[in-house]
Structure 1
Amino acid sequence: MAININNLQNSTQVKADQNAGQVVQRQQATVQQSAMNQAAQKQDSVSITPQAQQFSKLQEKATNSSGIDQEKVDKIKQAIADGKYKINVEMLAKRIMQFEGDLFERK
């Protein structure tokens, strides 16, 4: 009985090639899984510049303030009460006209 050595070598080589292919596929799957795990572990981060932080504080301060300079109001009240407050009627009339002009131009 004759043994075909060529077929023996071919079948061994085919099995070795298949095994190598499976090993490569497993390695690729492992690399992909590792990449996915790393991507999942990475977290986005945001940093705010000092200027943005300062702007945020100023904006909050402006929101919380009434917009009225109470010290100035108190001084004017005291000047009126003492009779020392002088009204510039020309400036007052000019500002009233300017206000009404702005008011009617917007419509």
Structure 2
Amino acid sequence: MAINNINNGLPKNPVDNGKVSQQNQTQQAQQQATAKTATAAPAPRQDSVSLTQSAQQLNQVQKKGTEAPVNQEKVDRLKKAIQSGDYQINPEVLASKIAKAEAEIFGTK
């Protein structure tokens, strides 16, 4: 079986091997550049947190507060007295204790 009318009867152009190899090199260079770009992409940014000195101190105080021993019997007794209305507050004693605590905290006497 014969195939007629190839290239519409026009003569076949010779293949330029130099041009083909140049195209192959260009394609390889593009592929290598793409591969380098993909591997050289920066690592994803990681989040970080830093606490101020005040925040660190507050964290330490909170930890100490949760670790402090609790006299649960006394707490229950005071709750019951407050709920029943039997708990009496001495304003002078309370004021002196507040003043003493402030002096210890702020270093004044």
Q: Normalising by structure 1, report the TM-score.
A: 0.37
TM-score, L = length of structure 2: 0.36
